[in-house]
Structure 1
Amino acid sequence: MNYRTHIVSSLSEVGQPAWDGLAAAQDRTNPFLSFAFLHALHESGSASAETGWQPQYITLWDGDALAAALPLYVKGHSYGEYVFDWAWADAYQRHGLDYYPKLLSAIPFTPVSGPRLLARDAQARAALIEVLCATQQAAEVSSTHILFPPDQEARQLSEAGFMLRSGVQFHWLNEGYESFEEFLSTLEQKKRKNIRAERRKVAQAGVTLTRVRGRDASDTQWRFFNRCYRHTYAAHHSTPYLNLDFWLRIGATMPDNILLVLAERDGKPVAASLVIHDEDTLFGRYWGEIEHVPCLHFEAAYYQPLEFCIERGIKVFEGGAQGEHKMARGFLPTRTWSAHWLAHPAFADAIEHFLEREAGGIDSYIDELNDRNPFRTRD
């Protein structure tokens, strides 16, 4: 079938019905692939040409119907990606070559796995991969990077000539728990004791926590969350990626996917966390505080969302990037993927050998983590 290819710099050129219809045709609806989330990133200026994230989405059309699409950006840096290639960029620079611009398919600032090759069927997906390969060959870029694709897409990209790189995240699995205490009962005694002690410290500090659904969050609460978010970045001498306009946009356009956890002490708000979820999966995203309370981070960003998962029967809590400390709270190592193509033959060969060595280290690391499983041995 002959598809019409169109490169779009704004999802307005596609339209919400067509985009969300294609996204819904994948294995499961991912809130980060929704028109509301991506459009908010672009329209708020958080992910834009000015911030080094120039949208250049590949879309394939069958007449007036959207048959396939790939979220794609021209990147002028490697910030906000969570699959680190700074050493690659440095090697290019040391050899007098430009690593930027590069092409990147990812959800900006969002290290969660999900479909990247959006397609209504296998034929359209194969055509989309062909267009991607032709695009990267024709463009004046050093490389193309597809971050956090699911297993099947990673295999398809490998078959198309991409090099695969594996990583590790930590996910919590809901085994049908009726309560948080039932979940705790499955952990080793020391882990149970530590979690109870952490929660007790927060309560003894006079902190109360409230879970607020996105549809019920007020403008004041969103502004406070933004204040916490920015304060945490400042404390780490960094610049926040997202702005208040973005938070207000997703609060208005995807409220059923959002949960805010707000912490107060002596009647004043002191911290907040935000998670995004669908019916099956909850994604830990952002945390911030304006007043430090020991263990409050664990309560607001882990234990409150875990209770929410148990209450609603949500099956998986993806804890976000990195963090072995999550294992002590019931999260288990999970392999993630990224796919990479480099135009320079010598660098492609060198990075392929590096990835082979790195893959062995990742395998050993996952084995080591599994040996430290936090759950008690059942008789």
Structure 2
Amino acid sequence: MSEIRDRSDLRVRVATSLKAIPASAWDACANPRAGTSGSLESSCEPVDSLSQLDTDNPFVSHAFLRALEESGCIGGRSGWSPAYLLVEDAADDRLLGATPSFLKSHSQGEYVFDHSWADAYERAGGRYYPKIQVSAPFTPATGPRLLVADGPRADEARAGLIAGLEALRDQTDASSIHVTFAQGPDVAALTEAGYLERRDLQFHWQNEGFGSYDDFLSVLASRKRKALKRERREALSAGITVDVLSGSDLTEKVWDDFFAFYQDTGSRKWGRPYLNRRFFSAVGEAMGERIVLVMARRAGRYIAGAINFRGANTLYGRNWGCIEDHPFLHFELCYHQAIDYAIAHKLARVEAGAQGEHKLARGYRPVITYSAHYLADRGLRRAVANYLVNEHAHIASAQEALAAESPFRKGNDDA
């Protein structure tokens, strides 16, 4: 670890591996309120991710990030070089804050696309990479990014992390800092520090205290209810059964099967899957009880699967794949089964990942997500700031239009 900023009472350092950081100290910053549950939300209005705080986010946990390191998905030649900022109490070395931050040599695996920014800057003679990325790698899920432990120095630690990111940018000559899929306290602190706020849309399912899937269907328009019932029947009509696996159910054979599905989808979507086979074994061993793996079986073998991670009050849908194509099976495993699980376990929401307007018809609502960006070059910053004004208006308009197309009953719909 190297020290990048020092005061008499606060020390900011950078670590290139989680091996140097005790899991308990990191997790006390990443999820300081872990174990507390969130209330179910009852609002039917379009919402934004700033209000959707999960008190135990799996993707910034020491276990998840360490699994990425140990498997080689980050580090080495991956283009994701760990540069974790640590803010410590200089008097007793206690960890007060941290960031899941990386030096990036490309813009893959981020889901908040800045390729046009990079292209414009490099056409003008600039050098966009390296850049600093603060996020959960390969994971478009909202969560804390400026990780601070509870206590009287929380605000001071957050300010120290922001100052540390700027010092790291100076030290590495990075063009920019990108904090993606961030939550309210982080977005507020970063924009106050001069970062540009960017918005995008995802689709999340909100639990309104439903006791069953039928309860959920009851709030939909009659025509939509019938369509989803038929869709779920047809998804399993070829003799398909569904297993929901977690913890000790996650054997190496299960991971072999799921990885084959994941590779098929990954190779079709982006050419090379981001995660390797070793990652799934490592993450299953480290946090298997927080994994919800939904697998479809036909004729005695698994043919498709969807992996989810569980927080305190949220189920996060991540990756899916199959080796047999069946109508509606993707929707069943990724969306309907996730709703079933959230209702059964009284979770407040399901985050279904990036993109996908098809989620709207399955009862997932349009939700605004946020990121914050610091661009060192004034010309690039000015151009991006102007672009974001128009993009914000487009996102707001798109959310309103999508919400109007939701399957939920309107005032004059049949019950």
Task: Return the TM-score normalized by structure 1.
Answer: 0.97
Matched AA of 2:69: H
**CA contact 2:13–2:85 (8 Å) conserved in 1:** yes
Find runs of 4+ consecutive structure 1 residues off by over 6 angstroms. none
**CA contact 1:92–1:98 (8 Å) conserved in 2:** yes
Matched AA of 1:36: A
Structure-2 separation of matches of 1:369 and 1:298 = 19
**Counterpart among 284, 290, 299 of residue 332 in structure 2:** 299
**CA contact 2:10–2:88 (8 Å) conserved in 1:** yes
**CA contact 2:27–2:62 (8 Å) conserved in 1:** yes
Structure-2 separation of matches of 1:345 and 1:290 = 49
Aligned ranges for residues 166-181 of structure 1 at < 5 Å? 166-181=199-214
Q: Which residue of 2 aligns with 1:318?
A: 351
Residues 138-187 of structure 1 show CA distances to partners (whole Å, capped at 9, x for unaligned) of 43111110001112211110110100001111110111111111111111
Q: Which residue of 1 aligns with 2:27?
A: 20
Structure-1 separation of matches of 2:236 and 2:123 = 53
Matched AA of 1:111: P
Indicate the SS of the match to 2:77: helix
**Counterpart among 16, 26, 45 of residue 72 in structure 2:** 45
**CA contact 2:110–2:137 (8 Å) conserved in 1:** yes
1:117 and 2:150 are equivalent in the alignment: no
1:327 and 2:360 are equivalent in the alignment: yes
Percent of aligned pairs sharing the same letter: 41
Uncovered stretches (5+) of structure 2, i.e. residues with no partner: 1-7, 34-52
**CA contact 2:56–2:312 (8 Å) conserved in 1:** no
Indicate the SS of the match to 2:141: coil
Q: Which residue of 1 aligns with 2:125?
A: 96
Q: CA deviation at 1:22?
A: 1.9
1:55 and 2:88 are equivalent in the alignment: no
Indicate the SS of the match to 1:195: helix
**Counterpart among 294, 312, 316 of residue 279 in structure 1:** 312
Matched AA of 2:147: L
**CA contact 2:165–2:177 (8 Å) conserved in 1:** no
Q: Which residue of 1 aligns with 2:296?
A: 263
Indicate the SS of the match to 1:263: strand
Q: CA deviation at 1:237?
A: 5.8
Q: CA deviation at 1:339?
A: 0.5
Q: Which residue of 2 aligns with 1:215?
A: 248
**Counterpart among 172, 175, 191 of residue 142 in structure 1:** 175
Q: Mean Cα displacement is larger for which, 203-212 or 135-144? A: 135-144
**Counterpart among 261, 265, 268 of residue 235 in structure 1:** 268
Structure-2 separation of matches of 1:215 and 1:21 = 26
Residues 193-217 of structure 1 show CA distances to partners (whole Å, capped at 9, x for unaligned) of 2211111112221111111113322
Q: Mean Cα displacement is larger for which, 83-92 or 131-140? A: 131-140
Q: CA deviation at 1:49?
A: 3.4
Structure-1 separation of matches of 2:159 and 2:361 = 42
Q: Which residue of 2 aligns with 1:158?
A: 191
Q: CA deviation at 1:104?
A: 0.6
Residues 110-150 of structure 1 show CA distances to partners (whole Å, capped at 9, x for unaligned) of 01111111112112112221222232234311111000111
Give the number of the structure with larger relative contact order, counting CA–CA contacts within 8 Å between residues 6 or more apart: 2
Structure-2 separation of matches of 1:189 and 1:199 = 16
Matched AA of 1:108: P
CA RMSD, aligned part only?
1.4
**CA contact 2:291–2:310 (8 Å) conserved in 1:** yes
Aligned ranges for residues 57-96 of structure 1 at < 5 Å? 57-62=84-89, 63-96=92-125
Structure-1 separation of matches of 2:392 and 2:289 = 38
Structure-1 separation of matches of 2:28 and 2:124 = 45
**Counterpart among 180, 200, 215 of residue 182 in structure 1:** 215
Indicate the SS of the match to 2:312: coil
